[in-house]
Every structure is written in structure tokens, then in C-alpha cells.
Structure 1
Amino acid sequence: MVKKAAPAPRREDSLSRDRIVDVAIELLDAEGESGLTFRALAGRLATGPGAIYWHVANKGELLTAACDAIVGRTMTIAVAGESPETDIRALALGLFDAIDAHPWVGSALTRAPGQLPAVRILEGLGQALCALGVPAERQWPTVSALLSYILGVAGQNAANAHVGRTLGTDRLAFLSSVAATWSELDEEAFPFVRSMAGPLREHDDRADFLAGIDLILGGVCGQATG
């Protein structure tokens, strides 16, 4: 007797764009961008790809929507309105942690310039800079510098973590190996880098990131009051 194929699992909840985005985030976190396919998404949602296309036109749109969801949640939590400087630091650190937790967000942001995820960040940083009294003619270069620093450092941090996982080593072992290499460099040719071997081994990524934000803010505040 031929057995009947098991029926496909039925989706009990109604399919919505928000539900699709949430499951896309789960796929991206688990498998990266290469794992985000409409077939995989349909399997998790227990529906057909056609139903997903009704809500999302293509993978690029879905990736941007997933990125926007992460950015929107981050900004809702980060900005407390205590002071402009506090808001900038909180927003920057929130994005740093979000990209660390969801490494695909950094590349998604760089591939969607001018779209809603980047617009949210620009608006948050820009309002804080206006509150700091940054002159109108300095607002664009200032917010651009902040955004470039945040995305650049957070993206590099996430990339470093990926390299470590690829090599099958943890952060401390990786940094210790690099520090050992630096300490053996020629003392006359690389005196500064040799001196950084110790700090490299012991440094805190988040603390270093915030130190950079504070350096930028120091210059911003100096311009605003100068």
C-alpha cells in the first residue's frame, strides 16, 4: 500500500509583512544573507513564495525592511532624551551592539543609502546635533562623519568576529596571536605598533568605540561653542 505524503504544515497565524520580516531576520541571523531565500522563507512560514511576493517585491526590499526593523527597535530603546550628547552616545552604542548581534545589518545599511534605515539614523543624530547648536553649514559634514564612524567601526567589529569564528578561535586567542606578532616587529621600523601589542590584547571593543564617539563629540561641542 502506497503511503500518502504527509501534508505540509499549515500556517495558523495570518501572513503579514511584519511576520515575514521577523522570520527573515531569524534566517539572516542563522544563515547570513546567502540563507535568505524566498523558498527558505516560505518553508518557515508554511506558505508559498507567491504569498510572500504579495507583501515584498524582492530580496533587496526584504533585506532593507529587515534592516529597518532592527534599526527602528534600536533607536526606540536607545534615545532617552536626557541630553544631546547622551542620546548620540546611546544611539551609537545601540547600533554598535545591533550590528554585533546582527552582522548583516552593516552591509544592508551601506547598500541602501538614502532609504529608511539610514534616514532614521540620520534623523536621530541630526536632531541631537541641532540641539547641540552645530551651525547649519556644519551639520551635514558632522552627521556624515558620525554616521561613517559608527557604521565603519561597528562593521569592522562584526567582520573581526566573523574572521574569528571562521578560524575557529575565540577573541582572546586571536588578539593574543596578533599581539605576539606585533611584539616581534622591528623596533626601529614599528615602534608605535610594538608598543600597542599589550593594549591590543586587553582592549575592550565597546569602550574603544565610545572613546571615538567622545573624540568626535569633543570636536563638535568645540565648534558649536567656538
Structure 2
Amino acid sequence: MTKGFSSVWTREGRSAKSTPGLSRDQIVRAALELLDAEGADGLSMRKLGAKLGAGATSIYWYVANKDELLELAYDEIWGEMVIADPEQVSWRYAAASFGKSMRQAILRHPWASRLIGRMPAIGPNALRATDRLRHAIAVAGFEGLEIDYAISTLTAYVFGMSIPETAFNEYLAKEEPDEEAMRAAVTQAMADYPEMVKRVEAYHNLDASQVREMSFDFGLYTVLDGLEARLVT
């Protein structure tokens, strides 16, 4: 049995003049605060109503369920993603600015990583950002379906690097592990692989956040190098 597709973005909006009490912007801002503080599991209509000091009626005026509320919040995250104007800078700079901005948005709002691939990004902010990225890729010289393939390659890289990073950050925030003990355990597990042990030791005195930043940039520009190489073959 198939399930019909529904989205807060595809149904008729409510008139602001007849809205009881709260505005949608107020509801979305409060939902974002709850999500950032407690994650997706911590968001509920009851908690949101209590935070806003309002009954469920005001919330349900705008959203039919929690998923629609998440859609609204998810699109706000896309609104934080910045991409330089491809008419003013090179396509590589524009694409790189988008990739870095997307990573930072996901890290600021780790709950959003659970929506990637499950919830379509079809809100106004997401479509605006995606269209500008599409334009940058087209300016580079890609045509037809290859524009979509290039965008998918870039975003898949950002997701692939950022989602595990958010999970690790959440683990560190909850567990506060003994880093020295963790390093010792990893080194012991790699005892039969001395070259790998050397790699672990090489990171010992480095700032972990800076290493992750450099690692992300290395991969990002490598992806862009690969895309650029396809244009000259």
C-alpha cells in the first residue's frame, strides 16, 4: 500500500489575519531553540506549547504534526547556508563557500543530520540555496544531468564528513571521555600496524577542531579538483 506524499510546503498556507495568537516565525524560532537544546527527540508539541506559553491550537494552525514542524525548522537551517554569487566570484569559490557553510550549519544544529535523506529540502530557503549552487555549477560548464550529478557529489561529500562529526561531538558532550585513555586504547588495538600507530601519535599535540577543519577543506577542494578535471576531458 503506497503512502501519499505530504509537506507543509505543498499545502495552502493559513491567513495571517485569522491566525489565533502566535505567528509562525515565533513557533519556528522556539522549535529551533528546543531542537538545539534537546535534539529531535526532545521536540514535542507539548514542550513547544509550554515554551511558548500557548495551547496546541496556535501550533496546529500552522502544522499538522511534528514532521511538518521539523520541515519548517529544517528550512531555517538552509537559510543559514551562504553561497557566494557565482557572477561575482569563480564557480569554485562559490561551490566551496556553500560546502563550508553547509558543514557549519549542520554542526551548529546536529539534529538536522537525522533529517538528511529522510525529509525533502523543498522549503524556500533550501530551494534558493540549491538554485544558486546549480547556477554556479552551470557557470563552470556542466550541462544537463551532469549539473545534478555534480551537486550530488558535492553535497554527498559534505554530508559524509559532517554527519559522523556531529555524532562524535554529541558523544564527547555526553560522555566526556578520557582522551589519553582513549588514545592509549586505540594505540594498543593498532599494535600490529606500526604505521597506523605513527599516524595516531602524529595528531597527539594538534588541535582536534583545526585538524577536522583542515581535513574537510582538503577533501572539499579535492572534490572540486575532480569536478574541474571532468570539464577538460
Same fold (TM over 0.5): yes
- Give the Å deviation of 1:138: 2.8
Name the structure where helix makes up a greater proportion of residues: 1
Counterpart residue identity of residue 104, structure 2: D
- Asked if 1:165 is matched to 2:173, the reply is yes
Residue pair 1:67, 1:109 contacting (<8 A) in 2 also: no
Segments of structure 2 that go 5 or more residues without pairing to the other structure are 1-20
TM score, norm. by length of structure 1: 0.81
In 1, distance between residues paired with 2:138 and 2:184? Answer: 45
Residue pair 2:85, 2:132 contacting (<8 A) in 1 also: no
Q: 2:24 pairs with 12, 17, 31, which one?
A: 17
TM score, norm. by length of structure 2: 0.79
Q: 2:224 pairs with 196, 217, 224, which one?
A: 217
- Runs of 4+ off more than 4 Å: 117-121
Write the mapping of 1:62-211 to structure 2, written as runs, cut at 5 A: 62-75=69-82, 78-81=83-86, 82-113=89-120, 115-116=122-123, 119-120=127-128, 122-169=130-177, 174=179, 176-185=180-189, 189-201=192-204, 202=206, 203=208, 204-211=211-218
- Give the Å deviation of 1:151: 1.2
- Give the Å deviation of 1:200: 4.1
In 1, distance between residues paired with 2:184 and 2:85? Answer: 42
- Give the Å deviation of 1:155: 1.0
Change (3 A) 1:192 1:145: farther
Write the mapping of 1:22-33 to structure 2, written as runs, cut at 5 A: 22-33=29-40
Change (3 A) 1:90 1:182: same
Change (3 A) 1:124 1:180: farther
User: What percentage of aligned pairs have identical amino acids?
Assistant: 28
What root-mean-square deviation, in Å, do the aligned CA atoms of Structure 1 and Structure 2 show?
A: 2.4
- Asked if 1:39 is matched to 2:43, the reply is no
Counterpart residue identity of residue 185, structure 2: T
Residue pair 1:126, 1:143 contacting (<8 A) in 2 also: yes
Counterpart residue identity of residue 218, structure 1: D
Q: Report the equivalent of 2:6.
A: none
Change (3 A) 1:138 1:16: same
Equivalent pairs counted in the alignment come to 207
- Give the Å deviation of 1:80: 4.3
Residue pair 1:182, 1:193 contacting (<8 A) in 2 also: no
